[in-house]
Structure 1
Amino acid sequence: MVLISGPEQFLADRAARTIRETLRSADPSIEIHDVDASGYTAGELFTIASPSLFAEPRLIRVTGVEKSSDAFIDDAKRYLEQPADDTTLVLRHAGGQRGKALLDAVRGAPGHALGAVEVPCAELKKDAERIGFAQAEFRRLGAQIPAAAVRALVAAYGSGLGELAGAIEQLVSDRGTRLSEDDVVRATEGRVEAGAFKMADAATAGNAGEALLLLRQALLAGTDPIPLLAALNMKVRAMARVFGAQGAGGQFAKRFGMAPWQVERAQRETRGWREADLARAIDLAAETEWLLKGGSRDPEYALERYVLFVARRGRG
């Protein structure tokens, strides 16, 4: 018995696929049955799990347990008391309170000697979590890549784990198992996120000319100004968070909710800033967002002004 819990659908799909492939490799004759818990009717689970003429092993995959019918909850609890032989039951619960009593029962079920197995699929929201996921993917594929290149790849593929995992597999397939930052740059050229973070990096590093060039290239290519602003705002907020903090990044990581490398990078980027100017940058960020969302007839100029303010560290 396996419970796949949590909202991250990519990880859940991968876990379900791994279970299916493992069982099929052990016995190609395995029967696979899919059940939707939200539309379940009483007795369906027992009908599927009942012994067949040739006693083939079974895999029963139940989706939508977080929306299950009362009939499924009742039948599943009864099934836990006497699971069918040679049957693997996989329950997919994406989160929420519906079916909690069933989940509690599954987690305490004696199913077999090792009990039920739970595969947690939590949403990876923080940069550090997504970077950790990417590093694990490269290790799984036997690839070596610098930490900076991993961070750049995560920044470029920020819309979902599936897209990020696919990009990693493609990168290893195309470039081999010894990768560099240049490999990532070539692979992410043209992506909005990659261009936005390059521009933001140049601005916070004090390279005004490069930042403006990258900004204008992105705008001429048709990039919406909002993602460009968001990339710069993220870095400015990180700088404001760590301003005045002295010491190694590891000391402040938990306090600021950032990875140690993020703290150290933000600390470097605050050099040359005065506190009042950084505070003004935060105010200007909000003002620029308003201007980009209809408060100005020339939003591109507003964004250029903000980029220059950051690149010049509030001076000039």
Structure 2
Amino acid sequence: MAPSAQLHLVLGEEELLIERAVSSIVAEVRAGGAGDNLPVTRLRAGDVSAAELAEMLSPSLFAEDRVIVLEAAAEAGKDAVALVQEVADEPPEGVVLVVLHTGGGRAKALAPALQKANARVHDCQKVTKPAERVDFVRGEFRALGVRVAADVVAAVIEAVGNNLRELAAACSQLAADTGGKIDIAAVRRYYSGKAEVSGFEIADLAVAGDRAGAMEALRWASLRGLHPVLLADALADSVHTIARVGSAGNGDPFRLAGQLGLAPFKVKKAQAQVRGWNPETISAALQVVATLNADVKGASANADYAVERAVEQVLELRSRRR
């Protein structure tokens, strides 16, 4: 076994990606001849002594392959760190060491040391940017052998939310239920309940000036029990996006997406929405959502009423755009 295949650094904090990385490493070792009986031991760096770790990482008497997964390595003690670095320089025969590290912590220096030792790095950083979520969903569909349009990817994210585990499950379920023929109608059909109460539909209708549609969607959301904070966040997100895109001026959505840290589909949608606004009404709408944020977090005695009033105010501002 090549040394680089014996040493792996799983770097980041995104749990789903970490699980997948570890699973792929174990599957690779098994496929390499270790078989299904491959021993896999998981240890937390803070719960195991240096002596116990040394025993685990020492060469096997019978040279049997095994995988050692060291979790929470960022919190490892000085002795454990020294031992891992020693093993990294010359991995024992048959031992595959998988180090899970956040990139910070008291053992922060361990991650770059393992990279210097030519560990195979698995990037599992938190997915926080909209563009990264778009890439993730597109990648999920691609892995399932399904090609979807950009607006379908956007619809899935708006309907399901930002949790990667839920997004992955939704992609898998949609691919299975539709036979791979996925359009926006299919997303709405299978996730209509969640999409209706996500808050994004209400926000889009409000900033577009669709009073009847926005108020009907808001009442459905209230009946289904969507928390006012989520509604407030969705409305604030739409208004802030319009403000940012509007101030950036016209331009290619893909170029602006990189400058603004937004997904291209979101920039394109905001460019269409901003035509109904001007700097004065956008400024006023920003004040409305700022007040709403405080209201739903305790400043108002009735958070549901505060949300309804804010939606009404945004609709009113949109109606006097000129």
Do they superpose with TM above 0.5?
yes
8 Å CA contact 1:60, 1:90 repeated in 2: yes
TM alignment of 1:41-190, pairs within 5 A: 41-109=49-117, 115-190=118-193
The aligned counterpart of 2:297 is 293
Which of 16, 28, 40 is the aligned partner of 1:32? Answer: 40
In structure 1, give the amino acid aligned to 2:139.
A
Q: Quote the Cα distance in structure 1 between the aligned partners of 2:23 and 2:185.
A: 33
Q: What is aligned with 1:22?
A: 28
Residue identity opposite 2:274 in structure 1: T
1:240 aligned residue (223, 240, 243) = 243
User: Which residue is 1:199 aligned to?
Assistant: 202
The answer to whether the 8 A contact 1:145-1:180 is kept is yes
Is 1:267 the counterpart of 2:271? The answer is yes
Deviates more, 1:83-92 or 1:253-262: 253-262
Q: CA deviation at 1:211?
A: 0.6
2:16 corresponds to: 10
Runs of 5+ consecutive residues of structure 2 not aligned to the other structure: 1-6
Q: In structure 2, what is the Cα distance between the partners aligned to 1:100 and 1:306?
A: 46
Residues 106 and 311 of structure 1: CA distance in aligned 2, closer, same or farther (over 3 Å): same
Question: Once the two structures are superposed, what CA deviation does each residue of 1:220-278 show, in whole Å capped at 9, x if it has no partner?
Answer: 22222221121111011011112251222234223322233322211210112222111
Structure-2 change in CA distance of 1:188 and 1:83 (3 Å):
same
- Structure 1 residue 144: deviation in Å? 2.0
Distance of 1:314 and 1:142 partners within structure 2:
42
Rate the CA distance shift 1:32–1:293 in 2: closer, same or farther, 3 A.
Answer: closer
Q: 1:95 to 1:155 in 2, by over 3 A?
A: farther
The alignment-based identity, stated in percent, is 34
When normalised by structure 2's length, the TM-score is 0.89
Instruction: Find the aligned partners of 1:96 and 1:195 in 2 and give their Cα distance.
Output: 34
Q: Distance in 2 between matches of 1:299 and 1:106?
A: 51
- Taking the aligned partners of 2:172 and 2:255, their CA distance within structure 1 comes to 34
The one of 227, 249, 253 equivalent to 1:249 is 253
Q: Which runs of 5+ in 1 are unaligned?
A: 110-114
Which of 288, 291, 302 is the aligned partner of 1:284?
Answer: 288
More displaced stretch, 272-281 vs 248-257: 248-257
Deviation at 1:302, TM superposition (A): 3.0
Task: Describe the shift of the 1:208–1:100 C-alpha distance in structure 2 as closer, same or farther (beyond 3 A).
Answer: same
* Contact 2:45/2:71 (<8 A) preserved: yes
Post-superposition shift, 1:136? 0.4
User: What TM-score, normalized by structure 1, do the two folds share?
Assistant: 0.91
Instruction: Classify the secondary structure of the residue corresponding to 2:147.
Output: coil
1:97/1:180 Cα in 2 relative to 1: closer, same or farther (>3 Å)? same
Name the SS of the counterpart of 2:69 in structure 1: strand
Distance 1:23 1:71, change over 3 A: same
* Whole-angstrom CA distance in 1 between matches of 2:90 and 2:223: 65
Contact 1:143–1:176, Cα closer than 8 Å, also in 2: no
